[in-house]
Amino acid sequence: MTRQHSTSAITTHVLDTALGRPAAGVPVRLSRIDPDDATPSSVLADATTDDDGRVTDLGPDQAPAGTYQLRFDTAAYYAATGQECFYPEVLVTFAVTDRRHHHVPLLLSPFAYSTYRGS
């Protein structure tokens, strides 16, 4: 299988660790945090994870230095898959300090989640 290369500076991948498969259909929002009041100031993109649990076209092809936030609508995903949901949303706030690609995966289960800086 040939995977298309991302043009976005920020991408994500969601895996459902309880079911042992990619989490398809998770709504994701990318925002930039306003440095003056620490709240999301501008929505850069809205997307939904594909069948492989990925969003590769999320926002701009360059991300200036700053603080960003990914919002995962896990309630919608769990409702669609018939699973119980303790965390209806997951917010991941992270800093971009260089021009490298930033991949932010999310490992998800009904009662826990984790994230890390991917490649």
The residue with tokens 């960003």 is 68
Who wins on pLDDT, 104 or 119? 104
Rounded Cα distance between 48 and 56, Å, is 10
For Cα atoms 15, 19, 24, give the angle at the middle one, nearest 5 degrees: 45
When the pLDDT of each residue in the chain is averaged and rounded to a whole number, the result is 90
Q: State the chain's maximal CA–CA distance in angstroms.
A: 45
pLDDT beyond 50 at 84: yes
pTM: 0.89
Distance CA 24, CA 92 (A): 18
Is the pLDDT assigned to residue 90 strictly greater than 50? yes
Burial of 82 (0-12, 13-18, 19+ CB in 10 A): exposed
pLDDT, one tens digit per residue, over 14-55 is: 999 999 999 999 999 999 998 777 666 789 999 999 999 999
